[in-house]
Structure 1
């Protein structure tokens, strides 16, 4: 059992409606960036792909910094991934947001890689030089 401020203490605490709204907003923002990136990466191939990946990296890094935990990155990444996968499926008529080629593949794999990288970034040191490691 951990103390009052230990790992997992937020599970036992009261639900904060503003925090839930922030995570839902990050999910929706991930969906918006995923939609915009899906359209831009195919429209202007080399530059659009780079722009879409930079926007995706900014979303994941910014949501992690804004919430100060990995759950913010996960919420925006899930919104991004769900949208990108739905758009990559296409329709029965053959229409789809993604064209054939390596660009969409690089966008999907690159975006997932960026999500994992941003979710596993080390947290900065706490003020006063206190480390979060228990073995020191």
Structure 2
């Protein structure tokens, strides 16, 4: 049974003493920002350049070149993530990297590839994609100066 009396503290009118909260839209709901778009395009181009450089370095000095190429890729992906503060910061250079590596993987009509051997090819492709996924799925970056909300801190 419900009574027609309002509950204690509830008048049915909106609260007028509550502070206005302006919550900015994030992700796909955020308005387009030309600087952010330019930064993402720049990261994608930089990812393509790192992919091309890694493609050329990894077969030349096999174990060391492969590690150098993967470290450069990891640095770019993680740096993009930190710079932008979102997952798209890691995805944009990873997309540029992957496109350039796939295009170079196609080879020439004569049948030769830019990549040296099959082992280096597999390690470079799988390692680079694994690093891209790891950097894109990292937990949120900690905000400097943010209160943790724990009492007594």
Please report how far the alpha carbon of residue 89 of structure 1 lies from its aligned counterpart in structure 2 after TM superposition. 1.0
> Which residue of structure 2 aligns with residue 99 of structure 1?
116
Structure 2 residue corresponding to 1:88, chosen from 105, 111, 127: 105
Residue of structure 2 in register with 1:129 after alignment:
148
Whether the aligned pair in 1 keeps the contact of 2:57 and 2:69 (CA below 8 Å) is: yes
Q: CA RMSD in A?
A: 1.8
Partner of 1:134: none
Q: Which runs of 5+ in 1 are unaligned?
A: 132-136
Runs of 4+ in 1 over 4 A off after TM superposition: none
Secondary structure of 2:147's partner?
A: coil
Q: Which residue of 2 aligns with 1:77?
A: 94
- When Rg is computed on C-alpha atoms for both structures, the one with the higher figure is 2
TM-score by length of 1: 0.86
More helix by share: 1
Match of 2:129 in 1: 112
- Structure 2: 5+ residue stretches without partners: 1-21
The structural deviation recorded for 1:123 is: 1.7
